[in-house]
């Protein structure tokens, strides 16, 4: 056949013949099927067929004339010319010899899959799916096409879609001549994901450009809802390095709302939207095994192509098989200059802004930038002519028709969509901040004049008015690497992939408290005693409310204990993945009784203390029978991270350990729950934050593998003051001579111990006071762990101090 190529006959060398999409399908079928990657078969109608249609109809020059002196910024002008060209092509007759070949190929598919086989008809342009330009969604796709007549009709409509308004505008922006781009059409066996689920995955993190993670999104029904952003999908992250070693490193699972699904119409071809039952919405669309299978496929596809990939997947509801239905190069982060990191920092207090009511709405952050502009709520594509450059585009969701105004927006806000939807993909490519899935963005911003759109913290936030922010650029070439390890304080898993790319030597303090507060929010003992509480709830309205809240937060879990373990493990795991293979020291939970009481159900288990700061906290809880079962959940979560996910770079740190005997009790309790010091390289550190830790440093060094100085608590307890009290806060200063002597002493004792023990510091003092950092270097401290925004300045300062110390040393010989 002259105009038809089966996918098995083509590969990446054939882009000029069958376009990027079809060439990629053929490439995968030929090279990855034997490695286990399932790709539905089909055929390509070649770009030569498109050229033949245009020549036979005699409309090439008419198309050229229609596009002459086009202004793509004039929406009305663009719409009129695009419509005129599409009508020319659709009204042209399909040449007889081409039509016969299409019918013959379809009949051959019927022999393979059955009479009236359902197919997807997808456009595949010759300037598409390139490493530098995705052309995502520029042309049309038709799903559930059945029968020869409908197929021929849809092929002609696909040819016409080379001149959608958005495709014309995109080609102008990317510098492609309209008549040098041709269209092939792919005819692919449909995967019955309308009976199951589908979605998109990237072999790179779409927000941070972190290359060691696979990011997967999925929703019920056909995948178009995920691609177009019609639903807020489930999200999963899988860590590639340990996945390839045979571990199961799912480091994030986030439940989407998935309120509707795209399914087949009951009669005839085509599709329709259908509501998803509430119970179904509360379940993840994929099992862990399926998530891991897709992630392995993403790795295989990336390895074959040698570049990060953007992949569409689908699950067949009849056979329960998974398939890859498209794969293209990722076009944003793969082109980024890795020698420069751009950072956006909001210079205003977020907590204060929230208290003052300036925070209007939140959603998923796309990218890490901050933008500002006048609000313009656009309800439909028919209103896009009302949009002005520099405004913030606020809408329910975008589709490719909106791209001419998206490229001139200062930021984008949508009600719906996940991070692989159209709005997210295009805003990344354009390099503008975008907040998706706000649910009520159009309502919340109605009547608001100007907003600041903040994506710099891993969560998308829209604030009222113009806020101050700064943009910094870090050039990574020729950065000094000091002897003292410069580590980072971390606690927000969402930021780990971004922060891990800032030059660092690991995490000196990963706090569990943020993960427990944000990811779980329930007192661990309430989860352990869930069944007992359910019985008590019948007679106690307060407990009934606790059960209701637990059920809402852990809806996808029957076993409530597993809900705690899994969520804590994934939070820790994401931080560990972001900084792998550098060590990540995880501090066990250090809530005070009043803070634990604030968790759901916490009031049932926590005593009231007059001074929680020096009460039942840290080590004293872990071996106490009243709390020990809850501590066991923390241990099981860390064990899961190290053993199931393969992230053995995780170390453990014990906070507020008053005596060496307490330390031994904690080590013993950890072992009871499967965390054995020294096993599989597990090191256990102690926080040095109580004067007793310094005075008995030699004895603590017998119990623990190292110390981490908590300068805030050590200063507070040395000077005997409450650092939160305004009355005495002026005395609080880590540079006080008493504190410095303690710091110097513990470093000396730890280094003299046999074996030598490491000492770090995880307080804010070294970043706040450069002279304190110099003092620590002079004492020979092994590491400093700082907040991310202080890493670079402290690194440069420490390198300079080390250079001065080295210069003062007497010459040898």
Q: Tell me the C-alpha distance between 41 and 30, whole Å.
A: 11
The answer to whether residues 689 and 714 touch, using CB atoms and an 8 Å cutoff, is: yes
762 is catalytic: yes
Please indicate whether residue 745 is annotated as part of the active site. no
Q: Which residues make beta-bridge pairs with 371?
A: 453
Closest CA to 786 of 481, 488, 484: 488
C-alpha–C-alpha distance, residues 752 and 531, integer Å: 52
Residues ≥6 apart with Cβ < 8 Å to 813: none
Strand partners, 370: 454
Task: Kindly give the pairing relationship between strand 411-414 and strand 434-436.
Answer: parallel
Dist. CA 478–CA 470, nearest whole Å:
24
> Left if phi > 0, otherwise alpha if psi is -120 to 50, otherwise beta: which for 6?
beta
3-state secondary structure of 384: helix
Are 35 and 154 contacting, i.e. CB atoms less than 8 angstroms apart? no
Q: How many residues does the chain have?
A: 813
- Which H/E stretch holds residue 760? strand 758-761
Backbone angles phi, psi at 197, to 5 degrees: -160, 170
Which run of H or E residues covers position 85? helix 75-91
Question: For residues 400 and 161, is the Cβ–Cβ distance under 8 A?
Answer: no
Q: Which of 422, 455, 657, 688 is catalytic?
A: 422
CA separation for the pair 178, 162 (Å, rounded):
9
CB atoms within 10 A of CB 16: 14
DSSP state of 607: P
**What's the alpha-carbon Rg for the chain, to the nearest Å?**
30
Calculate the dihedral angle through the C-alpha atoms of 719, 721, 726, 729, rounding to the nearest 10 degrees. 20
Q: Which residues pair with 365 in a beta bridge?
A: 435
Distance, in Å, from the CA atom of 376 to the CA atom of 127, rounded to the nearest integer, reads 33
Residue among 585, 572, 610, 594 nearest 523 (CA): 594
Tell me the β-bridge partners of 786: 488
The DSSP bridge pattern shows strands 684-688 and 650-654 to be parallel
The residues annotated with a catalytic role in the active site are 422, 762
């Amino acid at each position: 056949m002259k105009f038809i190529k089966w996918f098995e006959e083509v590969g990446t060398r054939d882009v000029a013949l069958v376009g990027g999409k079809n060439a990629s399908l053929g490439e995968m079928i030929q090279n990855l099927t034997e490695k286990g990657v399932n790709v539905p078969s089909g055929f390509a109608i070649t770009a030569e067929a498109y050229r033949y249609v245009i020549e036979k109809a005699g409309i090439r020059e008419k198309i050229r004339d229609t596009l002459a002196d086009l202004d793509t910024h004039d929406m009305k002008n663009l719409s009129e010319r695009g419509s005129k060209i599409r009508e020319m092509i659709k009204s042209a007759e399909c040449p007889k010899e081409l039509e016969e070949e299409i019918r013959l190929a379809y009949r051959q598919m019927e022999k393979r899959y059955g009479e009236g086989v359902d197919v997807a008809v997808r456009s595949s342009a010759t300037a598409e799916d390139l490493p530098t330009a995705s052309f995502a969604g520029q042309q049309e796709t038709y799903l559930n096409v059945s029968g020869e007549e409908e197929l021929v009709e849809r092929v002609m409509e696909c040819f016409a879609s080379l001149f959608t308004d958005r495709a014309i505008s995109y080609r102008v922006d990317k510098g492609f001549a309209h008549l040098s781009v041709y269209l092939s059409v792919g005819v692919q066996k449909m995967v019955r994901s309308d009976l199951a689920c589908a979605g998109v995955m990237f072999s790179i993190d779409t927000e941070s450009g972190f290359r060691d993670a696979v990011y997967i999104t999925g929703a019920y029904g056909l995948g178009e809802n995920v691609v177009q952003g019609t639903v807020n999908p489930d999200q999963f992250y899988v860590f590639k390095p340990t996945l390839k070693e045979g571990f199961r490193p799912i480091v994030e699972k986030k439940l989407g709302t998935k309120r509707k699904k795209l399914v087949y119409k009951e009669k005839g071809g085509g599709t329709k939207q259908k509501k998803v039952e509430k119970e179904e919405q509360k379940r993840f669309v994929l099992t862990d095994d399926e998530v891991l299978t897709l992630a392995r496929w993403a790795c295989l596809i990336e390895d074959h192509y040698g570049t990060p990939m953007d992949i569409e997947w689908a699950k067949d509801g009849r056979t329960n098989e998974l398939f890859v239905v498209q794969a293209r190069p990722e076009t944003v982060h793969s082109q980024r200059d890795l020698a420069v990191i751009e950072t956006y920092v909001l210079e205003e207090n977020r907590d204060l802004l929230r208290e003052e009511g300036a925070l209007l709405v939140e959603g998923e952050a796309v990218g890490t930038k901050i933008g500002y502009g006048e609000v313009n709520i656009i309800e439909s594509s028919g209103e896009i002519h009302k949009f002005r450059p520099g405004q913030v585009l606020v809408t329910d969701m975008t589709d490719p028709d909106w791209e001419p105004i998206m490229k001139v927006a200062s930021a984008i806000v949508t009600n719906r969509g996940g991070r692989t939807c159209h709005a997210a993909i295009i805003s990344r490519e354009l390099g503008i901040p975008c907040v998706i899935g706000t649910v009520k963005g159009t309502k919340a911003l109605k009547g608001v004049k100007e907003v600041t759109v903040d994506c710099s913290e891993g969560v998308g936030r829209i604030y009222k008015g113009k806020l101050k922010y700064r943009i910094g650029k870090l050039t990574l070439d020729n950065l000094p690497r000091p002897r003292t390890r410069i580590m980072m304080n971390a606690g927000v898993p969402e930021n780990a992939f971004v922060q891990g790319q800032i030059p660092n030597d690991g995490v000196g303090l990963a706090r569990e408290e943020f993960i427990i507060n944000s990811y779980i929010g329930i007192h661990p003992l309430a989860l352990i005693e869930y069944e007992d509480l359910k019985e008590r709830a019948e007679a106690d309205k307060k407990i009934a409310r606790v059960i209701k809240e637990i059920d809402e937060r852990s809806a996808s879990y029957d076993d409530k204990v597993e809900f705690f373990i899994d969520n804590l493990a994934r939070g820790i795991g994401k931080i560990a993945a972001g900084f792998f293979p550098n060590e990540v020291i995880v501090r066990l939970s250090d809530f005070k009784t009043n803070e634990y009481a604030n968790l759901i159900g916490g009031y049932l288990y926590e005593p009231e203390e007059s001074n929680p700061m020096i009460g039942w906290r840290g080590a004293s809880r872990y071996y106490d029978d009243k709390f020990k079962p809850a501590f066991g959940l923390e241990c099981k979560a860390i064990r899961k991270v190290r053993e199931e996910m393969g992230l053995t770079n995780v170390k453990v740190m014990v906070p507020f350990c008053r005596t060496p005997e307490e330390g031994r009790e904690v080590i013993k309790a950890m072992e009871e729950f499967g965390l054995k010091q020294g096993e599989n390289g597990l090191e256990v550190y102690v926080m040095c934050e109580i004067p007793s830790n310094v005075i008995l440093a030699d004895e603590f060094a017998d119990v623990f593998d190292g110390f981490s100085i908590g300068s805030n608590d050590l200063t507070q307890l040395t000077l005997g003051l409450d650092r939160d009290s305004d009355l005495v806060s002026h005395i609080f200063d880590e540079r006080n001579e008493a504190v410095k002597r303690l710091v110097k002493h513990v470093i000396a004792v730890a280094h003299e111990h046999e074996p030598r023990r490491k000492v770090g510091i995880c307080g804010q003092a070294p970043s706040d006071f450069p002279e304190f950092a110099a003092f620590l270097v002079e004492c020979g401290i092994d590491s400093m762990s700082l907040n991310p925004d202080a890493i670079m300045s402290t690194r440069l300062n420490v390198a300079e101090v080390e250079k001065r110390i080295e210069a003062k040393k007497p010459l040898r010989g």
